[in-house]
Amino acid sequence: MQTTPKIIVLDDDPTGSQTVHSCLLLTRWDPATLSEALHDDAPLFFVLTNTRSMSAEQAGERTREVCRGLRQALAQYERPWLVVSRSDSTLRGHYPVETDVLSQELGPFAAHFMTPAFFEGGRITRGGIHYVVGNGTEVRADQTEFARDSVFGYSTSYLPDYVQEKTAGRIQSDEVCLFPATMSDTEMRQQLAQLEANRCCAVDAENQSQMDRFARLVLDAAASGKRFLFRSGASLLTSLAGLPPQPVPAERMAHYVRDRRPGLILVGSHVPSATRQLDELLRSRPVEGIELNVGALPDRDGAISRALHERLQQGHAAGRDVAIYTSRQERRFDSTRDRLAFGREVSRVLISAVAQAPSTLGFILSKGGITSNDVLSEALALRTARVVGQIHPGCSVVVTPREHRLASVPVVIFPGNVGSDESLRLVYDRLTSNRSA
C-alpha cells in the first residue's frame, strides 16, 4: 500500500493556503515546531517564510535557516515527504534563489517543476505559456501589471524562456522539459522516470482535473523512489493533499464571528485590482475608511501610529467596521533595497494598529500577502495557526487561539492580486451576514 507523503510547503507569503483547509501555518521554524507540524494529522503544512518581502540574499538565508530546522525535524520522522516552494501565481518571487537553496540543503532531486497555475485566481498554463484570466479574457502574464513589478519584473511568460531569464542563462530555454496536458498517462510516466540531476520542468494545466492527473502520476513516481521539488502556485497543493470539502462552507463563515462584533479591515496591497476592490467596499458598505498616507512615512516619533490607533478605537467603540488602508500611489525608489525597506516601514505602521486593536474585535480582514504575514507573525504573534477553510476562492481563514488576547477571532488572508472588483465586498458581506439574522 502506497504511503502518502507529508507535503512541506515553504510559502513566500501566507496566501499559499488559499485552496486548502484544516492544516497548520507556521510562523516559526525551530525543530520542535516543525516536528509538531510533521506529526499533525493534516496531509500538509505551511512554513511562512515571508521571503517575497526580502532581498534575494535575505531570501536565500531565510530559506537555508528553515531547511536546517527541517533537517533536524526530519531526522526523527519516518514517513515519506516532499517539499514545495510555493510562490506567486503571476511569477513574482525569488526564483531560482529559493529552489537552489532547497536543492542544496534537502536534495538531491531528480527534477524541479514549475507549476504556477492557480485556477481560483484565473492563472493557467497552456503550451508552456502562463496566462492571467480576468473577466473571461486570457492575457499573457508578461502583458500584465505583474510583469512590471519593480522588484520581480520579467519580460516573458513562456516558462522555458522565463527560466532562462531568471537563471541568467544557467538553465537554457531548450533544457526545460515540457509536460503538455496532451501527454498520455504512459508518456508522462515515462518522462517522469527519465528525469535526473534536478532537471527543470514546466507543467501545463488549465483546470484542476489536469493538475490532479499530474499530481497522481508524480506521487506514483515518488513512491517508486524519485525525489522531486516544486516551484508552485496554490492549485498543485489541492491536488497533492486530496482534502474533503471544508467543514464550514464559505457562505457560513460568519459562524466564526462572535456576537456580531465589528471588525478591522487592513489593505496594504496597492495593485490596481486591490484599489478597485477597496473603492467598491467603501462606496457600497457602511465601513469607516482611514487612510495611511505613505508619503508621510517614516513614522519616526510614532505620531502616525498613535493617530491610527485612536481612530480605530473610536470607530470600534461606536460599533463601526473600520478599514485602514495605505494611500494608493506607488512610490518610486532608487534601489530594490530602498523599496523593500520602505515596504517594511509601511507594514510596521499597519500592524501596530492590529497589535493594539480592541480585544473585542469581531474579525480581521487582511488584504495583501506581506501585510497578512506580518499580521499573523508579528501583530498577533502566532507561532502556529490552523486554516479552517476558504471564505472566497483564493482567500483563507484562520482563527486565533482561545487563550489569545484577541481570542477566537477569524482572520481572513486575502491576496492582493486575487478577485474581481466585488470580491472584497463579498467577503465582507459573508463575515457580517449574521447581523441581519
pLDDT tens digits along 300-338: 888 888 998 999 999 999 999 999 998 877 667 777 778
Residue with C-alpha cell 504575514?
A: 373
DSSP 57: H
Phi, then psi, of 178 in degrees rounded to 5: -90, 140
Show the low-confidence residues of the chain (pLDDT under 50). Answer: 1
DSSP 379: I
- Predicted TM-score (pTM) of the model is 0.88
**Domain architecture of the chain: domains with CATH:** 6-241 (3.40.50.10840), 250-436 (3.40.980.20)
Q: What is the pLDDT of residue 1?
A: 39
For residue 99, what is its C-alpha cell? 529552489
**Residues facing 111 on adjacent strands:** 199, 228
Q: What is the pLDDT of residue 295?
A: 80
Residue with C-alpha cell 530594490?
A: 336
Provide the H-helix boundaries in 133-202: 159-166, 185-194
